[in-house]
Amino acid sequence: MHIEVNQLNKHFGDFHAVNNVSFTIEKGRLIGLLGPSGGGKTSILRMLAGLETPDTGDIVFHGKRVNDLPPQERGIGFVFQNYALFKHMTVFDNIAFGLKVKKQPKDQIRERVMSLVELTGLKGFEHRYPHQLSGGQRQRVAFARALAPEPQLLLLDEPFAAIDAKIRQELRTWLKDMIERLGITSIFVTHDQDEAIEVADEIMIINKGRLEQKGTPWDIYKNPQTQFVASFIGESTIVSEVHKLKGFEDASSWAGTKALIRPEYIEVGKTSEFKIISATETGRIKHIHFRGSEWMVEVQVGDVTLITYRSLEKEVLHPGEEVNVLVHRAYLFNDTDSWIMENKLKEDPMPVHI
């Protein structure tokens, strides 16, 4: 289903939950609504479902305005955060609910439910009640139930929030495959950036009721358009006096400019590990933390502490050791503008002023 949302607004009392949000979604895409809790993501999802009425703005499905259609008529499937399974019904009856409402013939319902049970790997569990299932199984029942009436749009509210970390990983992959296979337009809400980056074709970053940026995960990571997006996606350190760092002296020509530096923009190591020593700073290792697959290194450069990662393959650094630090690039921003600045010394192998 092709979806278009124009100038959507929603207030809850004095709280402006959704603020002038507009976007379009192509048919068959898997979209992640990403943002901090209480940012308005769920409100947008609920308005798309018809569970909440927008104050102003239009919601258009397939070129038809659906604002005044009740949820029953919108042809959507909704997976709730806590699944909201019907407690007193078996897995079979839960999945069959949407089909029974439509008064489909019994054998047809049976066929469709059994095929969904098969698809979601719930075979053998049809006669269990929700309280007899694990979190992951409940999630799959909720998914199957939402899909049963063949909706044109699938909406998922924090679909993995209530599942423990290990199974979450499996379910993410499973859900992505499943949605790709069915080709159904889907929107899911999450506050977990890894989840959004991993699962979604496209991400919409929502903060304080506003749509900050919409794009592919790579796009958003590479070209954050607002400071919020830059700081929300990935890890980062904010440096207020960036012109003090080598290679970024030019930054001083914009007053009040700060920099956001991601760990992966920073390289740290012994002098022998760098080709262009002139582009590096000297720093002192403050702390190192073992992170399972790499070291996380806190390094003190002047009065700034930078955070970066270091491969386990390289020589182990120790706290207090003096090291060289190369900052490849920084994301600069001030009140009016934001841009990416490369380390200019790194670009020039024979700097003139040395």
Partner 1 sequence: MKKLWITLTYLVFIILLIIPLIRIFYGSWAEGWEGFIKALSRPQSLHALQMTGTIVVLVTLINTIFGVMLAIYLVRATWLGPRIKQFLNSLVDLPFAVSPVIGGLMIVLLLGPHTVIGSFFEDSGFKVVYALPGMVLATLFVTFPLMVREVMPVLQEIGSQQEEAASTLGAYSWYTFWKVTWPAIRWGVIYGVVLTVARSMGEFGAVLVVSGNIMNKTQTATTLVYQDVENFNVLAANSVALVLATISIALLLLMEWAKKRKGH
Region 46-65 residues binding partner 1, contact defined as CB under 8 A? 49-51
What 3-state class would DSSP assign to 224?
A: coil
Q: How far apart are CA 180 and CA 62, in angstroms?
A: 20
Our CB check for partner 1 shows the closer of 162 and 288 to be: 162
CB of 212 to partner 1, least distance (A): 28
Our CB check for partner 1 shows the closer of 13 and 124 to be: 13
How many CB atoms neighbour CB 192 within 10 A? 16
Q: Is the dihedral of CA 165, 170, 175, 180 positive or negative?
A: positive
Look up tokens 């290679």; give the residue: 247
Asked whether the beta carbons of 190 and 158 are under 8 A apart, the reply is yes
The one among 112, 138, 145, 172 contacting partner 1 by CB under 8 A: 145
> Encoding tokens for residue 210?
């506003």
In the DSSP assignment, the letter for residue 234 is S
Our CB check for partner 1 shows the closer of 72 and 272 to be: 72
CB of 157 to partner 1, least distance (A): 10
Region 58-117 residues binding partner 1, contact defined as CB under 8 A? 70-72, 74, 76-78, 80, 82, 84-88, 97-98, 101-102
Our CB check for partner 1 shows the closer of 69 and 296 to be: 69
Q: Where are the alpha helices (DSSP H) in the chain?
A: 41-49, 91-101, 106-119, 135-147, 165-182, 193-199, 217-222, 227-232, 344-347
Query: Binding of partner 1 at residue 141 (CB under 8 A)?
Result: no
**Among the residue ranges 141-149, 216-224, 315-323, 344-352, the one whose residues contact partner 1 (CB under 8 A):** 141-149
In the DSSP assignment, the letter for residue 1 is -
Q: How far apart are CA 307 and CA 268, in angstroms?
A: 10
User: Per-residue x/- marks for partner 1, 246-285, CB under 8 A?
Assistant: ----------------------------------------
| Distance from chain centroid for Cα 46 | 18
CB of 123 to partner 1, least distance (A): 22
Asked whether the beta carbons of 39 and 206 are under 8 A apart, the reply is yes
Judged by the rule CB under 8 A, the positions of this chain that interact with partner 1 are 49-51, 70-72, 74, 76-78, 80, 82, 84-88, 97-98, 101-102, 145-146, 148-149
